[in-house]
Amino acid sequence: MFKVNPYRPGAGLMPMYLAGRDEDISNIEQMFMASTMNVPTQSVIFSGLRGVGKTVLLNKLQKIAEDMDIFCRHIEIEERNDFISQIATCSQAFLRKVSAKEKFKHLIQKPLDAIKSLVVSFDPNDSTFSLSLQDRELYQSANLTQSLMEVFTTIGETAFKSETPICFFIDEIQYMKEAELGALIAALHRTNQLGYPVMVVGAGLPKIYKMLSDEKSYSERLFLYEEIGTLTEGQSRKAIVEPAKRFGISYTDEAIDEIIRITKGYPFFIQQLCQIVYNNMKNEMIVRSDIEDSIPAFFKVLDTGFFKVRYERCSEGDKKFIFAMVRCGELPCTVSNIARQLDKNVKQISPTRAQLINKGIIYPVRHSELDFTVPEFSGFIQRTSEYVQWDEEESI
């Protein structure tokens, strides 16, 4: 029989009950409020591991901002990055909205020219603006930072004058190119100095904190940084219990404790395990044995999905590096320890290290230590036959 399952494991899928993010939400709500009063505010960056709930939080905040009549756009940076084209499209959409009101039509030309210049100069594939050769020369710019700053300050001015604040929600920020990230920070900074209501709420893997401060030291003041982590015991309990409640299903305390023990409070794992448990439950009260019976299926789903998609993006060299990390025993582990496991020196392994960071599989923790961006990844690696084989060969 088809059962409505209230759990939603999956990238960016809004859970039926969003647990434990109340404080973040209410803080940012205040910032949105300021923005609607034409008071410029800080921008916000959420960082956290895979599956911890960054996208869901971003989407929730976007909904709140939209309800406050803030002009919002969601941008997802992909590995084959097209940030410039996305920011240009979103800025044009903003101008369209403003120009719908006759009295603001005169505020459009300046920002439109800035967008044109950005696109013509830095988005070679774009065909939005077909310009004559002479016009092209007029709009051509060689400096990305200047160009993006021009877009932000001019749309900012329009936002201010038309009292339509802007918020861009940018997900997977870690995939931005260095130059683009630097330009974005500088553009936001300048817009902020001028007192215009343009905000960014961004999210990405833990390495973004370092990326931002490496790019511009003042970025630490420009952004409010929030680390998104696992749910506490109380929050996990709610994430488990609340979705099932409205269908008349409950859990014993023992069952809840077991779910928390296995998932360690990671939101994605909670959704995944509870979905399986819910499908397999025998009656309206879920008990500990229901959880235990579902564990093999839970790991199977993770191993063939969540973990595997990340693992398959690794080259042979990447995999050896990952195996060596796992072999270090404790995570985070030092780069020198990894090198030792591979019988190499630190310099020799640094290209692979950089590559894995770029792919978003690992991230630097503190000074010269590394960890996986995917929670519980080392357990998965230990279960793979390739690792077992490698480990045996290395032990000889």
Ligand X SMILES: Nc1ncnc2c1ncn2[C@@H]1O[C@H](COP(=O)(O)OP(=O)(O)OP(=O)(O)O)[C@@H](O)[C@H]1O
| Shortest spacing between CB 47 and ligand X, in angstroms | 10
Instruction: Tell whether residue 174 is a contact of Mg ion (CB under 5 A).
Output: no
| Shortest spacing between CB 11 and Mg ion, in angstroms | 6
Partner that binds at residue 6, options Mg ion, ligand X, none, CB closer than 5 to 8 Å by kind: none
Q: What is the 3-state secondary structure (H, E, C) of 86-142?
A: HHHHHHHHHHHHHHCCHHHHHHCHHHHHHHHHHHHHHCCCCCCCCCCHHHHHHHCCC
| Shortest spacing between CB 52 and Mg ion, in angstroms | 9
Q: Which is nearer to Mg ion, 54 or 310 (CB)?
A: 54
Partner that binds at residue 20, options Mg ion, ligand X, none, CB closer than 5 to 8 Å by kind: ligand X
Give the whole-angstrom CA distance, residue 267 versus residue 56.
Answer: 10
Pairing state between β 333-334 and 369-372: antiparallel
| Shortest spacing between CB 279 and ligand X, in angstroms | 16
Q: Which is nearer to Mg ion, 149 or 361 (CB)?
A: 361
| Shortest spacing between CB 333 and ligand X, in angstroms | 22
Query: Is 309:275 a contact under the CB 8 Å cutoff?
Result: no
| Shortest spacing between CB 267 and ligand X, in angstroms | 3
The side-by-side arrangement of strands in the sheet containing 333-334 is 333-334, 369-372, 362-365
- Helix (H) or strand (E) holding 363, with range, is strand 362-365
The two tokens of residue 393 are 């060969």
Q: 142: exposed, middle or buried (C-beta count within 10 Å: 0-12, 13-18, 19+)?
A: exposed
Q: Which is nearer to Mg ion, 207 or 327 (CB)?
A: 207
Amino acid in position 241? V
Q: Which residue is nearest to ligand X (CB)?
A: 53
| Shortest spacing between CB 53 and ligand X, in angstroms | 3
Give the whole-angstrom CA distance, residue 208 versus residue 128.
Answer: 32
Q: Which is nearer to ligand X, 49 or 115 (CB)?
A: 49
Torsion of CA 126, 127, 133, 139, to 10 degrees: -50
215: Cβ–Cβ under 8 A, 6 or more apart, which residues?
Answer: 178, 181, 182, 185
User: Which residues would be at the binding site for ligand X (CB under 6 A)?
Assistant: 8-13, 15, 18-21, 48, 50-56, 239, 267-268, 271
Q: Which is nearer to ligand X, 51 or 165 (CB)?
A: 51
| Contact set for Mg ion, span 52-71 (CB under 5 A) | 54-55
| Shortest spacing between CB 175 and ligand X, in angstroms | 11
Q: Which is nearer to Mg ion, 54 or 327 (CB)?
A: 54
| Shortest spacing between CB 354 and Mg ion, in angstroms | 23
Q: 312: exposed, middle or buried (C-beta count within 10 Å: 0-12, 13-18, 19+)?
A: exposed
Partner that binds at residue 15, options Mg ion, ligand X, none, CB closer than 5 to 8 Å by kind: ligand X
Partner that binds at residue 70, options Mg ion, ligand X, none, CB closer than 5 to 8 Å by kind: none
Q: Which is nearer to Mg ion, 59 or 334 (CB)?
A: 59
Its sign, for the CA torsion 49, 55, 61, 65, is: positive
Question: Which of these ranges, 47-55, 188-196, 246-254, 329-337, lies near Mg ion under the rule CB under 5 A?
Answer: 47-55
Q: Which is nearer to ligand X, 151 or 361 (CB)?
A: 361
Q: How far is CA 33 from CA 37, 68, 72, 154, 165, in A?
A: 7, 8, 14, 22, 10
Partner that binds at residue 337, options Mg ion, ligand X, none, CB closer than 5 to 8 Å by kind: none
Give the whole-angstrom CA distance, residue 180 versus residue 176.
Answer: 6
Partner that binds at residue 265, options Mg ion, ligand X, none, CB closer than 5 to 8 Å by kind: none
Partner that binds at residue 267, options ligand X, Mg ion, none, CB closer than 5 to 8 Å by kind: ligand X
- For residue 40, is it left (φ>0), alpha (ψ between -120 and 50) or beta? beta
Q: Which is nearer to ligand X, 25 or 39 (CB)?
A: 25
Q: Give strand pairing partners of 204.
A: 47
Q: Which is nearer to ligand X, 117 or 272 (CB)?
A: 272
Partner that binds at residue 375, options ligand X, Mg ion, none, CB closer than 5 to 8 Å by kind: none
Q: Which residue is nearest to Mg ion (CB)?
A: 55
| Shortest spacing between CB 11 and ligand X, in angstroms | 4
Instruction: Determine the 3-state secondary structure of 79 from DSSP.
Output: coil
Judged by the rule CB under 5 A, the positions of this chain that interact with Mg ion are 54-55
